[in-house]
Amino acid sequence: MRLFLVFLMVHTIFIPCFSFDILGKEIPLTLDYYMSTCPTVFEVIKKEMECIVKEDPRNAAIMIRLHFHDCFVQGCDASVLLDETESLQGEKKASPNTNSLKGFKIVDRIKNIIESECPGVVSCADLLTISARDATILVGGPYWDVPVGRKDSKTASYELATSSLPTPEEGLISIISKFYSQGLSVEDMVALIGAHTIGMAQCRNFRSRIYGDFHVTSALNPVSETYLSSLQKICPASSGEGDSNVTAMDNVTPNLFDNSIYHTLLRGEGLLNSDQEMYTSMFAIQTRRIVSKYAEDPVAFFEQFSKSMVKMGNILNSESFADGEVRRNCRFVNT
């Protein structure tokens, strides 16, 4: 009941009807962009996401992560969805994405329904942004208004996908700089990483953590020792063995969007090095305070997460916006 009340207490986030691209140029996005051309788009996506998350709650995290990986590479323009072709090198095979980024068939499924109702109107970038919001709500997270009007890019960037996305073993200072380069603050970073409360991680991404300093940050209390032992059974020490085995980043409420991930960090049990760094790194003076605040106050976390998701969703690329399109198939540029 307490979690339900927390959800009700979170205020709707109202968005100004403009955004800024990665160079600071003002670009218009509005809440009513599809009012006359596809008035049912929000309802269509909501209903389909309800089915998708009901089929597997993990699909919520998959869609949020897909949106994140899109926006961090040349803005929120659906470049991450493009398949490799003879003339285009996509982002799907970049090291942060390969063998781990999912959700492309979910996007296809939703896109096909929208195209049957409003052909050639709703961009894949908007579809992904709205789906991430609905995914969050469906597993107990907050609501926020989604401004729309994005265009789909005709290009992708393997190089930027390789260099711009934070990695699981990265240090705190490096991760902060990657968020700053997108116009996102330290507060945004800590809030957005809170989405790991419903995330899964592959063994290859947490092996060094559980065979490294996990026992130090968790202070080897009996409960942590039991948890660590279970993780090591999932993820053997030898590289290449069980690399694709997965486990939840929040081992308490893995299918519920709440503030539990921050309590995990306070216990020193963060599964990913990049997460735990926010609390135990020698450079974590500011992030430690924010982690503690969100652990203590779930309403503050929900409110900031909403604002930060809007801010991230408003990262646009003026080139894609000016020369972009509405793809008929999210995997390919229109011909």
Binding-site residue set: 70, 73, 75, 77, 79, 91, 166, 196-197, 250, 253, 258
Q: Which tokens is 56 given?
A: 């597997």
- Could you give the angle at the alpha carbon of 48 between the alpha carbons of 250 and 305, nearest 5°? 40
Q: d(Cα 124, Cα 193) in Å, to the nearest integer?
A: 24
Of 11, 69, 215, 263, which one is the catalytic site residue?
69
Binding-site residue set for Ca(2+): 70, 73, 75, 77, 79, 91, 197, 250, 253, 258
Binding-site residue set for heme b: 196
Q: d(Cα 205, Cα 115) in Å, to the nearest integer?
A: 37
Residue from 245, 327, 318, 299 nearest 3 by CA: 299
Residue from 187, 190, 188, 198 nearest 313 by CA: 188
User: 30 has which bridge partners?
Assistant: 148
Contact 300, 49 (CB under 8 A): no
Q: Could you please report the per-residue DSSP string of 158-219?
A: HHHHHHHS--TT--HHHHHHHHHTTT--HHHHHHHHGGGGG-EEEHHHHHHHHTTTHHHHTT
The question of whether 215 is a catalytic residue gets the answer: no
Contact 14, 306 (CB under 8 A): no
The catalytic site residues sit at 69
